[in-house]
Amino acid sequence: MLLNFIFLNKINDLERRFAEFDYIKKMGEFYKFWIKKNFSKSFDIQCDQMIVHERGFLRRLDVDSLLEDHRKRGEEIYHFYLSFFRPLWTDCIGCEGYYAENFGMVLWDEPDDKNDVSFLAEKNCTKVSHELAHELLRQEGNKQYMELVHDVWDKHLFASLSYEHYNSNFEKTTQDKALFSTINTSEF
Ligand SMILES: [Zn+2]
């Protein structure tokens, strides 16, 4: 099974956002580990950029165009889009994300400081874990795949439950040393 992360990047932003794509490649390897640990599934990981340069295409870009891209690339592959736009509507509060069968997307926020790993971990990596959890629970046949994730997510947002933090060796660590942060999976 292949999990393909796709970073949407406007052509004029390529150089400026290079560090983020570098982080995304590391994050992909981390999620290979995280998914195996929490959902006992083995994925190969691929990370690509979708370079957006056509003004017309940019105007039309929405969840439907990403779903169409997913179909063209192959529906047997799990495509996960890290996007610069938010979906028109979402069930996932604080995530600006969307998921469907073998499909995920989140709004990927650009940090003010491109080397701000803490921002990438707490702001973006966490949202990715949220959408992955929905789809992986669904693939397991868990009928509570929506509620389970949102119950925990609400505790992160409103009840000061902290995220899970991992260092570059994918070991649990504290927030200040974290390279990756995820939803708390202990209640799944
Ligand atoms: Zn959600």
The domain spans of the chain are 2-182
Q: What distance in Å separates the CA atoms of residue 172 and residue 188, rounded to the nearest whole number?
A: 18
What's the confidence (pLDDT) of residue 95?
Answer: 86
> Cα of 55 to ligand 1 centre, how many Å?
31
What confidence score (pLDDT) does residue 57 get?
57
Cα(first)–Cα(last) distance of the chain, in Å? 22
CA of 37 to the centre of ligand 1 (A): 21
CA of 148 to the centre of ligand 1 (A): 9
Contact 151, 159 (CB under 8 A): no
The residues that bridge with 52 in the sheet, in sequence order, are: 10
How far does the centroid of ligand 1 lie from the alpha carbon of residue 130, in Å? 6
Return the structure tokens found at 23: 């982080």
pLDDT 10s digit of each residue in the chain, 188 long? 999 999 999 999 999 999 999 999 999 999 999 999 999 999 999 999 999 976 665 667 889 999 999 999 999 999 999 999 998 888 898 889 999 999 999 999 999 999 899 999 999 999 999 999 999 999 999 999 999 999 999 999 999 999 999 999 999 999 999 999 999 999 88
- Are residues 104 and 83 in contact, defined by beta-carbon separation less than 8 angstroms? no
Confirm if 31 and 45 have CB atoms less than 8 A apart.
yes
CATH number at 2-182 = 3.40.390
Max Cα distance, the chain (Å): 45
pLDDT of the residue at 56: 62
Q: How far is the CA of 15 from the centre of ligand 1 (A)?
A: 31
Separation of CA 115 and ligand 1 centre (Å) = 28
Residues that place a CB less than 5 A from ion ligand 1: 92
Which whole-number Å values give the CA distances from 74 to 28, 44, 68, 98, 186, in the listed order?
A: 19, 15, 10, 18, 33
